[in-house]
Amino acid sequence: MAEFNFRSPRLFVDAALAAGRTVELDRNQSNYLGNVLRRAAGETVLVFNGRDGEWQAVIAGRKRPDSLSIQGRTRPQDRLPDLAYVFAPLKHARLDYMVQKAVEMGASSLQPVLTRFTQVNRVNSERMRANAIEAAEQCGILSLAAVAAPVTLDHYLEQREARRLLVFCDEAAATADPWQALRSERAASGGIDILIGPEGGFAEEERGILLRQPRTLRLSLGPRVLRADTAGVAALALVQAVLGDWTGSDL
């Protein structure tokens, strides 16, 4: 793993990065650097865009930070494992937490799905993206997870690629050894989708449809019923430990 500078602030910028380029800051970024972090012209920050790696940049501006002068690259671009986090959205702060933790755990895409017992019918995709960016900035992540618009569970299952492994976390499944079950799928290719249902669980007809999907692995996450946001962290940690980038595997 490349060395990460934990002491320098990091900023996501939606612009091409290369030595000698100048990147203009928007109002929020200027306020963040100048008023929140108290950074002034001549000081340095780290920047990334999810495509060109991480770069050191010098702040410019007379009264307030208004642009960045890109200097040298500090880390090359990496690639996230092909791991989609598919989940029934929760309310407000718990959804923020869920998005942040999924990004921290290395999910490459976030797909909200609406199920029969989903508590939330509207999802603020811009807020989800802002939380994904913030988590990446704070945790040294270089590749930004894609944020998809919410779809119904039926639509998601109709359009997903059959070659992908669907890890279906089900509180109604018999408690077994999820580690061993996942290890048996370790050699499989095509990417992985982790599906976490709503607080009320899946309806019986939804569970039946899920169990008929190709390449489905039904998992119990232990003898205790977990909250949906806790289940997401547990499932992502389990998959990354067994199949993902923690072991050097290529999903």
pLDDT tens for 78-109 read 999 899 999 999 998 999 999 999 999 999 99
Residue 200 near residue 171, CB atoms below 8 Å = no
CATH code of 10-75, in short, is 2.40.240.20
Dump the DSSP string for 81-132.
Answer: -SEEEEE----HHHHHHHHHHHHHTT-SEEEEEE-TT-S-S---HHHHHHHH
Q: Smallest Cα–Cα separation from 192: which of 144, 235, 131, 152?
A: 235
Please report the pLDDT score of residue 183 as a whole number.
Answer: 79
Give the model's confidence band at 139: pLDDT under 50 very low, under 70 low, under 90 confident, else very high. Answer: very high
Least confident of 70-74, 108-112, 245-249: 245-249
Domain with CATH 2.40.240.20 in the chain: 10-75
Mean pLDDT of 149-162: 94
User: What is the pTM for the complete model shown?
Assistant: 0.90
Residue 179 near residue 242, CB atoms below 8 Å = yes
Relative orientation angle of helices 92-104 and 228-242, to the nearest 10 degrees: 10
SS3 state at 167: strand
Please report the pLDDT score of residue 97 as a whole number.
Answer: 95
Dump the DSSP string for 150-165.
Answer: PEEHHHHHHHS-TTSE
Please report the pLDDT score of residue 171 as a whole number.
Answer: 77
Helix residue ranges per DSSP H, the chain: 27-31, 92-104, 125-139, 153-159, 178-183, 204-211, 228-242
Please report the pLDDT score of residue 248 as a whole number.
Answer: 61
Residue 171 near residue 220, CB atoms below 8 Å = yes
What DSSP state is assigned to residue 59?
E
Mean pLDDT of 163-183: 81
Please report the pLDDT score of residue 121 as a whole number.
Answer: 81
Please report the pLDDT score of residue 108 as a whole number.
Answer: 96
Domain with CATH 3.40.1280.10 in the chain: 83-242
Model confidence at 23: pLDDT above 70: yes
Place of tokens 């008023």: 35
The partner residues of 85 in beta bridges, in order of sequence, read 110, 194
Give the model's confidence band at 167: pLDDT under 50 very low, under 70 low, under 90 confident, else very high. Answer: very high
Give the model's confidence band at 188: pLDDT under 50 very low, under 70 low, under 90 confident, else very high. Answer: low
Residue 130 near residue 170, CB atoms below 8 Å = no
Can you tell me the distance from the alpha carbon of 215 to that of 218, in angstroms, rounded to the nearest whole number?
Answer: 10
Model confidence at 249: pLDDT above 70: no
Please report the pLDDT score of residue 195 as a whole number.
Answer: 96
* Parallel/antiparallel/unpaired status of strands 54-60 and 44-48: antiparallel
Best CATH choice for the domain 83-242 from the list 3.40.1550.20, 3.30.565.10, 3.20.20.70, 3.40.1280.10 = 3.40.1280.10
Can you tell me the distance from the alpha carbon of 50 to that of 79, in angstroms, rounded to the nearest whole number?
Answer: 9
**Of residues 20 and 188, more confidently modeled:** 20
Please report the pLDDT score of residue 120 as a whole number.
Answer: 87
Can you tell me the distance from the alpha carbon of 99 to that of 89, in angstroms, rounded to the nearest whole number?
Answer: 10
SS3 state at 227: coil
Instruction: Using a pLDDT cut of 70, give the percent of the chain over it.
Output: 93
Please report the pLDDT score of residue 244 as a whole number.
Answer: 66
Please report the pLDDT score of residue 222 as a whole number.
Answer: 80
Can you tell me the distance from the alpha carbon of 210 to that of 26, in angstroms, rounded to the nearest whole number?
Answer: 44
pLDDT in tens, 197-216: 998 889 999 999 999 998 89
CA distances to 84, 93, 94 from 119, in Å: 21, 14, 12
Question: Considering the chain, what is the average pLDDT of its residues?
Answer: 90
